[in-house]
Structure 1
Amino acid sequence: MNRIHFCIATAVAVASPAMAAPDGPAILAADLPVVVITGTAEHPERTADSDISTLLSKMPGYSVAQGGGVSGLPVVNGLADDRIKIRVDGMELTSACANHMNPPLSYIDPGQVGQIDLVAGVTPVSAGGDSIGGTITVTSAAPFFARAGEGWRTRIKLGASAKSVNDGVNASVSASAADDSTSIGYTAAYARGHSYEDGNGERVLGSMFESINQAVTLALRGSAGQLTLRAGVQHIPYQGFPNQYMDMTDNTARHANLAYAGRFGWGDFDASVYWQKTEHDMGFFTPERTGMMPMTTRGSNAGYVVKAAIPLASGTLRIGNEFHRFRLDDFWPAVPGSMMMGPNTYVNVNDGMRDRAAVFGEVETRHDARWLSLLGARWEWVRMDAGAVQAYGTGMMNAADAAAARAFNARERRRDDGNLDLTALARFTPSEGATYEFALARKTRSPNLYERYSWGRGTMAMTMTNWFGDGNGYVGDIDLKREAAATLAVTADWHGGGEKGWFVRVNPYFSKVADYIDVDVLGTFNPYMKMSTRGTLLRFANHDAKLYGTNLSWRLPLLAQGAYGSIALTGNAAWSRGTRRDGGDLYRIMPLNALLALEHELGRWSSQLDVRAVARKDHVDLRRLEPVTAGYALVGLRTAFQAQKHVRLTAGVSNLFDKAYADPLGGVYLSGLKAQGGALRPLPGYGRAFELGMNVEF
């Protein structure tokens, strides 16, 4: 049965309503506040991705801020990371790291994904709270069941791929055994890559990684509904971060979640409960960047979601209750013999607590054949607290941190926020060939634990809190206010010719954010003591801001299905700006960019030639010393062949002409600065990459 979502137009219009390779995850682009049905398109997707965040890269307004090989941070219309609600198999996961090296999307491999939903900007209250940028929902492959009367059946899927630019390899396996009421499944995925090469053929130091994911599933279904239990473990032995001062030396996470879905005479009922624990370590592990500074983080997430959908005479009522509990301990063991990093353990976050409880309700109404509306409200209570902290020591080299610890410990640290979200969405369909959508919302987000409770004032301590990849140092503020965004969006969609026909979608949006959590400048320093470059010391601070832009997407059939196959021109473009009320640009705002693709289908073959063009980024955040980056265009070519019913082969090349460029959202190349000296420069992008892949099912 198809899943039906009432979604929103605030940002993401794509080249097709849903995109997936036949053997890959379905990607549902919730680009319109309309009823959207999950489907698949027949063109090939990228063949050798190790990072889930890149699977959404075809959507306008969506970008990825580069981190490690499996830890990119999603950016939607200029809003990134914690400003986007991310759920993985119903679990709300929180980065347990001062550098956000383990963001939520890093906890599942692309080979394990069944579907990705993206709802951007003005999200329905049922899609999540504590966010102002949208919601990404990732779901593992659905449990496999046999048909009634077939008895027990088995299914095995194998996948493998390779990428030349970093000698990367990906492998995945899933195995299931099921009858018509019971399903047992196991999945495993492995990804590894060496440090990648840029367009000049130079190695980008400290960008290697390795990731291992395993999960088991038990599902039971009957007349009362379906009960699904999932449990898994992840191990990342190492992951380099060339735009951070630290690398990941281990990340071990375990999770379990239990979900129930049932349909009754009065409506649909869904409930889930989950638990996840992360043990995370940072330091140095490679000759490409050496050092000695152990850092340890322990984080745990737990919660539940209960919701119901009740049919009404002219629509649907949705109500729900959620709770999320996050605990965090972040400490840095002393380094024997070091005058600065000792003699005590540096306690960065002690007994950090962030609890959220929420209730919501929304009404979807079909007024007539032309008008559909959605009105919703959500109330969240957020409680945060943290225990006493300590510096490495009280000597001269630790004087700034010791004084900051005393001041922090003397404060009342508990904070309670009451957050109200409101949404009003409408769709008007005057004819079969046009729809118009209007959206208005108030969305809120409370600070994360590091924004509120990071306290160190020494330069080294401040640079250890930084998930922005900008080489600067940060300190928190206990008195930060929550962000409140008022967003207005309109989408016009003209279309014709059915599923394989033409369409044009345009989506302007505007957001005014009260108390946007940005920064104030406290001072400057020289990264790695290199006198040739400069960084800034920053305090998280509330400032009013605004973000606005336009997204455009289209599809134009050029050749109908025939002896030469079918050809279509697809693409999208996005332009966005973000500024502070008191002047200056916001950080990590993607410049004007466009994706043009020529898609060809002929029998078992499906191919794509695409060009991604990005304009010069000269609207930069001067407070963070964000680098200016030049414009560029990258050419890609991909093809897929369905060799047999259950065998699919893929091949492709990215950055065909080996263009040297800098990622506008990649931050700065810190590992290169430490090893090579000179000036601090933007992080280089990936050079030419040949990719091969194969998927087999039996």
Structure 2
Amino acid sequence: MKSSILSLAAALTATHPAFASDGDLKSADIIIVTAPRLTATDEARETEDELSTGPDGAAFVARQPGAALVANGALSGQVQMRGLFGERILLRINGQHFATGGPNAMDPAMHYAPTTLIERVEIARGISPVRDGPGLGGGVNTILKYSGFGDSGNLSPQVDISSQYRSVDDSVAAGGMLGLASDTVRVGIIGSYEKGDALRFPGGRIASTSFERAVYGAHAGFRAGPGELSIEYRRQDTGRSGNPPFAMDIVYFETDFARVGYEGDLGNELRLEAHANYSSVNHRMNNYESRPAPVTAMTRQSDTYADTMGADANIRFGTDDRHIRVGADFEIIDKGYMLYNPFTPAFFIHPLDRAKSDRVGAFIEWRSGFGAVESELGLRVDRHGASTEAPRYGPGVPAGPVNLANAFAAADRNWSDTSVDASLRLWANIGAFTPRLTLARKTRTPSLVERFSWLPTEASGGLADGNIYVGSENVKIEKAWVGEIGFDWQGYNAYARPVIFYRRIDDFIQGVPFDNSPGVINTPVEMVAAASGDPTPLRFTNTDATIWGTDIAFGAKLIGPLRFDGVASYVRAKRRDITYNLYRIAPANGRLGISWEAARWSLSIEGQFVAKQSKVSAINNEAASKGHVLAHLYGHWLIRDGVRMDFGVENLFNTYYLEHLAGYNRITGSDVALGARLPGARRSGFARIRWAM
């Protein structure tokens, strides 16, 4: 889907009150990434349209300033924002937060957002508002296509469908929304299907990178006076999809989402918002169907599940820009997985067995102003709990893992604690200039994997560094002190939005050597890890870290229909307790596009500039990377109002390059050497057509 990737928060606002109000979006310093224009170009608009052609919804976000793509597979990419990724980012789909099913995050949140179904993405670049829940870094809320209310009492049809072909992996994608709506009722269905072959690079193919995914669902909304009741259901079936950075590939994900909500004005400047949601993920992965099979004794398959139930409610007293909001929410997660040999029934073990976490929270936000200065002050408190059952295992499991299982069964497997988040945002609308200041304390609770993984495995929440990990039952909540300063400037023919940020993170959770004698196998954990091929396992524990940097979005109109737009980002991340760099941090990078925009067509050439990254993590055996420069060509043709074709060529000069955030190849028989960093895609042509009415 086409996106306004450089949009300024002040320039774009939400179009559907069921997800966020205009006042919320502006006060929260949120960038909106929207769908393509399907009418003639408005010459007064402030940004160019850009494309994300891959199936992974994370790539749709990764073109933002401060953002990057952690590429773990065609459908398993994660969003990195200012050095943080994974569960440290507050990720939601249609406002719904949920637990992913894979212990290695093969299904991060954007796995459930096919590009053909994305309506818009709301991105909190720095921190997410406390009303959205706890979270250490920024936030991403991806809104899928939906039917909107009409202007009359008669039901009218709505259509928004698109299809695409991409040459680099011979992939096809098609999807969209069909709906009927009046001014009081809206109903719609969504669906998409994608399939792709192995990804090609200059020099060959990357084995086990094919993919297949289908999504379908229905939604409805009903207006009753000033309020709306909404309901939605969505099903996703991911088929066999490769993950070369991991020890296993996806066999399937079978996932259901359900959400119901009410939002409406109760009179006298009083507004109520309430939602309830449920998700259920069932997942299978193995190491023999999509890659060369190992010897029978080392054949492995894993079945996992993750169920999430949650609800939230808040009341706003006042107007959009002058109010007090109070609310509460809760979330309950049930998660586990079994590792087994499908050809040896006696060998099975549950590294995470019937694990549960719960959270109950409350918050208050105050939106006010003092002269030209606007402010938003937020505070939330959450009570967390986690527990797990004693692990089960079969009679064919060796003595080493059995002893670890029995020791874990005898340990304390219950935990609880309280977290406090607070934020202060200040900004002033001074004509074309809007200075911004953010101060915050943000937290992140350890995952069930980080706390309760007693068996040494590669389950790491998506780090994909090839190391074996174990959890720590006494790991503490992460706490970050955040400061950001920047401004928005919007002139008649130009704009700029620079930000400088700093995070001091106490109790940052990091893998460290299991004991003080790494490489000396003198503990049961190290013995079991060595039998699995890694005599130097890591354990999740608390350290201290700092992350700082800067990013900017900018652009200007030149002469007539000629314009340029760009982004640039720099982040530095290191531990404070010892002299080590943090793992998998994006190098300095930027994009600059020059566009010629006519009334019904455009043509753009984009340069992508990536610096080398030598500040790497020795603990994670991270390799340094060289810098590279790529060129891309994009264009669009508005065939008629409501029908648009996008086309282009990525990596125009077929440059061989390595993305620093790409994983390392774990598959034999590929054109990529075993253990080498996965290369970037070769020259790729694409074409996409979209019809909406």
TM-score past 0.5 threshold? yes
Q: What's the offset of the Cα at 1:42?
A: 6.9
Q: Which residue of 2 aligns with 1:509?
A: 501
Letter matched to residue 641 of structure 1: W
Q: What's the offset of the Cα at 1:678?
A: 5.9
1:101 corresponds, among 106, 120, 125, to 106
- Counterpart of 1:503 in 2: which secondary structure? strand
Deviation sequence 1:60-106 (CA, Å, 0-9, x none) = 11011012212211100000010001111221111121111111221
Distance 1:390 1:315, change over 3 A: same
Q: Does 1:362 align with 2:365?
A: yes
Uncovered stretches (5+) of structure 1, i.e. residues with no partner: 25-38, 561-565
Distance 1:213 1:511, change over 3 A: same
Letter matched to residue 56 of structure 1: V
Q: What's the offset of the Cα at 1:465?
A: 4.5
- Contact preservation (8 Å) 1:43, 1:608: no
**Which stretch of structure 1 is more off in the superposition, 156-165 or 509-518?**
156-165
Q: Does 1:146 align with 2:150?
A: yes
Q: Which residue of 2 aligns with 1:36?
A: none
Task: Measure the CA separation in 2 of the matches of 1:10 and 1:198.
Answer: 40
- Contact preservation (8 Å) 1:10, 1:489: no
Q: What's the offset of the Cα at 1:536?
A: 4.7
Q: Does 1:436 align with 2:451?
A: no
**Which stretch of structure 1 is more off in the superposition, 624-633 or 663-672?**
663-672
- Contact preservation (8 Å) 2:386, 2:415: yes
Q: Which residue of 2 aligns with 1:546?
A: 546
2:216 corresponds, among 208, 214, 217, to 214
- Counterpart of 1:55 in 2: which secondary structure? helix
Q: Which residue of 1 aligns with 2:136?
A: 132
Q: What's the offset of the Cα at 1:378?
A: 0.4
Q: Which residue of 2 aligns with 1:696?
A: 691
Q: Which residue of 2 aligns with 1:21?
A: 36
Q: Which residue of 2 aligns with 1:160?
A: 163
CA RMSD of aligned residues (A): 2.6
Which residues of 2 match residues 411-426 of structure 1 at below 5 A?
Answer: 411-426=411-426
Task: Measure the CA separation in 1 of the matches of 2:404 and 2:45.
Answer: 55
Letter matched to residue 248 of structure 1: I
Q: What's the offset of the Cα at 1:18?
A: 5.0
Letter matched to residue 188 of structure 1: G
2:563 corresponds, among 551, 558, 568, to 568
Which residues of 2 match residues 20-39 of structure 1 at below 5 A?
Answer: 20-22=35-37
Q: Which residue of 1 aligns with 2:335?
A: 328
Distance 1:142 1:454, change over 3 A: same
Percent of aligned positions with the same letter in both sequences?
Answer: 23
Q: What's the offset of the Cα at 1:380?
A: 0.6
Q: What's the offset of the Cα at 1:335?
A: 3.5
Q: Which residue of 1 aligns with 2:324?
A: 317
Q: What's the offset of the Cα at 1:11?
A: 9.6
Task: Measure the CA separation in 2 of the matches of 1:293 and 1:696.
Answer: 45
Q: Does 1:588 align with 2:584?
A: yes
- Counterpart of 1:91 in 2: which secondary structure? coil
Q: Which residue of 2 aligns with 1:4?
A: 22
Task: Measure the CA separation in 2 of the matches of 1:592 and 1:675.
Answer: 30
Extract structure 1 runs of 4+ deviating beyond 6 A: 8-12, 39-42
Q: Which residue of 1 aligns with 2:465?
A: 470
Q: What's the offset of the Cα at 1:9?
A: 10
**Which stretch of structure 1 is more off in the superposition, 501-510 or 578-587?**
501-510
Q: Does 1:57 align with 2:52?
A: no
- Contact preservation (8 Å) 1:237, 1:249: yes
Q: What's the offset of the Cα at 1:663?
A: 1.3
TM-score w.r.t. length of structure 2: 0.89
Deviation sequence 1:176-217 (CA, Å, 0-9, x none) = 1223222221110011111101133x1011111100000101
Q: What's the offset of the Cα at 1:224?
A: 3.9
- Contact preservation (8 Å) 2:90, 2:128: no
Deviation sequence 1:279-327 (CA, Å, 0-9, x none) = 1001146454334311000110111111222216982112211111110
Which residues of 2 match residues 100-119 of structure 1 at below 5 A?
Answer: 100-119=105-124
Task: Measure the CA separation in 2 of the matches of 1:176 and 1:678.
Answer: 49
Q: Does 1:199 align with 2:202?
A: yes
Distance 1:323 1:642, change over 3 A: same
Q: What's the offset of the Cα at 1:512?
A: 0.4
Q: What's the offset of the Cα at 1:343?
A: 2.0
- Contact preservation (8 Å) 1:466, 1:472: no
Task: Give the aligned length.
Answer: 654
Letter matched to residue 4 of structure 1: D
- Counterpart of 1:75 in 2: which secondary structure? strand
Q: What's the offset of the Cα at 1:428?
A: 2.9
Q: What's the offset of the Cα at 1:19?
A: 4.8
Task: Measure the CA separation in 2 of the matches of 1:59 and 1:678.
Answer: 32
Distance 1:18 1:276, change over 3 A: closer
Task: Measure the CA separation in 2 of the matches of 1:691 and 1:364.
Answer: 46
Q: Does 1:669 align with 2:665?
A: yes
Task: Measure the CA separation in 2 of the matches of 1:661 and 1:534.
Answer: 29
Task: Measure the CA separation in 2 of the matches of 1:519 and 1:9.
Answer: 36
**Which stretch of structure 1 is more off in the superposition, 282-291 or 481-490?**
282-291
- Contact preservation (8 Å) 2:33, 2:122: no
Task: Measure the CA separation in 1 of the matches of 2:535 and 2:108.
Answer: 25
Task: Measure the CA separation in 2 of the matches of 1:591 and 1:408.
Answer: 40
2:79 corresponds, among 51, 61, 74, to 74
Letter matched to residue 681 of structure 2: Y
- Contact preservation (8 Å) 1:486, 1:513: yes
Task: Measure the CA separation in 2 of the matches of 1:684 and 1:399.
Answer: 41
Deviation sequence 1:202-255 (CA, Å, 0-9, x none) = 101111110000010121113141111100111011111011110010110111
- Contact preservation (8 Å) 2:375, 2:424: yes
Q: Which residue of 2 aligns with 1:240?
A: 242
Which residues of 2 match residues 592-611 of structure 1 at below 5 A?
Answer: 592-611=588-607
Q: Which residue of 1 aligns with 2:624?
A: 628
Q: Which residue of 2 aligns with 1:28?
A: none
